[in-house]
Structure formats: structure tokens, C-alpha cells
Structure 1
């Protein structure tokens, strides 16, 4: 008589656990590991600024071995790197005007601003977005993220034209959102021109503090700074009442 009792199927062999190298590689690619790398990179950049003191260019001048278009290009690159390392842009723009005059100083400053924004945006987008986006909770943060993600060019133009918003903060907020690269860089290039031009002209005319151009530039800087302070004060009170 044949045995009709079904035999149990053999159990599949367990999948081998990933090796130590694979687990370490996954850990290095995790969002918080990349965020730690971002903090380390920005910390190193800030330390380099404190060590080398690029603001000495205002007092010592540009190295004499570099001149002409080469000097403008090198300054624009240095401007961008310093902007990433939290050197205040007004100081860099004053240096651009003092070293190269109004026209070439503005060209170098705007190019450096776009370069610095591009580097900052890329660093945060690739190293910090994965860790920071889950933290966007609350009505205000969600609303700001939605505005930057859906209306990237218009929102970034407003942030660039408003002198009270720190350059680095706008870069990082845009990078954490879903704003695309092209609107971010285009709005940066256009929106930074007015305030950057004022500082560049002030730097180029610093040796003639009574000249009309210097007075117009400094007046523009003062007026926009006061307007930014008033708007920030009013928004602060509105937020308290809500």
C-alpha cells in the first residue's frame, strides 16, 4: 500500500546576512551620517575662515601677481567659497568694489554669490535633505516648505531682494525644500544684484566718502536695512498675536 501522507516541503535556506563591509557602507549612506558629514564640512570651512582671515584683503589688497580678468575670476571663486564658509557677503562685496571698481567688482560679486549659493544648495541637498525634511513639522514650517517648493523662483526672488534674510539661511531653506536648481540659481543671480551693487559701489567710492555715488549707495543700504528691521518687527508682533 502506497504512503499517501504528504511530505513537508524543504524549508528554503536562510538568506545570508550582509557582511560587515555592507553594513558599514549602508550606515555611511544613512541620512544622519550624511548630515554629520555636512556639519563637519561646514565646520571645517568656518575654521578655515578664522585661520586665514580673508577679510584682510580689504587692508592688504589683492596679490600683485594676479591681475586683469584672471584676478576677477579668482576673486569670484574666493567670494563663493567664503560665502559658503559664513563670511558676510556685504564685507565681500565691499572688498570687490575696493579691489576692482564698480563694474568688474559687481560682476565678480554676483558671480561669486551664485557660485556660493550653488555650492551651499548642493551640499545641503545631497547631504542634509534626507535628515532634515522629516523634521518639517508645524504649520509655519510646512507652509514655508510648500511656498518654496511650488513657487521657487518667486519665493527666492523675494528672499534675495529682502536684505533682512541671511544669504546662507535662504540657501539652506531652499535646499531642504523641493525647489529645483534652475529657479534657485536664476533668482539668486537676479535678486542679489540691487543690494550687492550698493555695497560694491560703496567699496569702490570709499576713498571719496562725500561723492554722490557713495552717498547714494550708503543711503540705499541704510534705507533697505531700516525697511527690513521694520518689516521684521511687524511680523514678530503678528506672530505673537496668532
Structure 2
């Protein structure tokens, strides 16, 4: 709703810049808060295979992983912020990936807000189509995110 409001109040160029800046700043503040709470305090809890895999992925491929997580709408934004804060991802890759990753969805919402007074305009119809497309991407990605089978250790019965 805030992105739509940015489009209504400021138009597309200024509204988009303000919305992306605000979203990125909020994500960075959440990241900093999570880091200040203490990655070290959570480190002993990262013994589970899933948590360790997430931590390793975000640490080793921070920019790429964050960009993919930000591009797919429907992934809980605050959960990503905290997962990143408690991982080894560095601040600059996190910030850059967040700003780039939120751009398509934010642009669609800001454009929809800016063109809401003429719902048959190409700008409004394209932004609505992008929002529908992003929603479909969410459903497809959620459907394809089946947990992988964990192989049994050698020598143990399945």
C-alpha cells in the first residue's frame, strides 16, 4: 500500500525512487538490528542441516541469494532480513541485492498508484499484468520448493 501511495502522491520517477530507498533503508536497519542482537548467540543453533545450509548459501553467495529472494514476491520480507542478519552475508551485497530485487515489484505498484485515475491506460494495465505475473511466479516457486530428500548416512538402513 505504501508503494501505491508513493505513486499517487509523487508520480512514477520520484515515487519509485522514494519507495525503493525507503524499502532498502528499512531492510538495512532490520539487518543492522539483527546483527546487533548477535549472530554469535545463534551460531550454536545453526547445527541443523537446513539452517546450516541457509547460512552457508547466504554467506558464500550473498548477493545472488539475496537478489533471488527479493525478486520473488510473497517471501516474507522481515524473515529474509533476519535470516541475512544472522548469516554471514556482508552488508554491501545485501543492500545492493535488496535495492535491485525490490525494483520490479515496487515499480509495478508505484506505477499502478500513479495511473490509478485511468485504469484503462497502458501504464495501469501493464503494472497490473506485472503484479499478476509476480504473483504467479510466487505460486510456481512455492510449488517447486519441495524439500529435498536427505540421503541416509552410509551404513544405515533407510
Answer whether TM exceeds 0.5 for this pair.
Answer: yes
Q: Which moved more, 1:164-173 or 1:149-158?
A: 164-173
SS of aligned partner of 1:239: coil
Counterparts of 1:50-65 in structure 2, within 5 Å, are none
SS of aligned partner of 2:47: coil
SS of aligned partner of 2:13: helix
Task: Tell me if 1:147 matches 2:57.
Answer: yes
SS of aligned partner of 1:208: coil
> Structure 1: how far apart are the matches of 2:17 and 2:77?
18
**1:133–1:177: 8 Å Cα contact kept in structure 2?**
no
Partner of 1:169: 79
> Structure 1: how far apart are the matches of 2:43 and 2:30?
16
Under a length normalisation based on structure 1, what TM-score does the superposition of the two structures give? 0.59
SS of aligned partner of 2:125: helix
Name the structure, 1 or 2, with higher relative contact order (CA <8 Å, separation 6+).
Answer: 2
Partner of 1:210: 120
- The Cα of 1:233 is off from its aligned counterpart by 1.8
Under a length normalisation based on structure 2, what TM-score does the superposition of the two structures give? 0.89
> Structure 2: how far apart are the matches of 1:225 and 1:133?
34
Counterparts of 1:1-242 in structure 2, within 5 Å, are 91-235=1-145, 238-239=146-147
> Structure 1: how far apart are the matches of 2:95 and 2:141?
26
> Structure 1: how far apart are the matches of 2:125 and 2:102?
20
Q: Which moved more, 1:163-172 or 1:211-220?
A: 163-172
Gaps of 5+ in 2: 151-158
- The Cα of 1:202 is off from its aligned counterpart by 0.6
SS of aligned partner of 1:192: helix
C-alpha root-mean-square deviation of aligned residues, in Å?
1.5
**1:148–1:177: 8 Å Cα contact kept in structure 2?**
yes
> Structure 2: how far apart are the matches of 1:121 and 1:153?
14
> Structure 1: how far apart are the matches of 2:46 and 2:57?
13
- The Cα of 1:92 is off from its aligned counterpart by 1.3
Gaps of 5+ in 1: 1-90
**How many residues get paired?**
150
Larger Rg belongs to: 1
Stretches (4+) displaced over 6 A: none
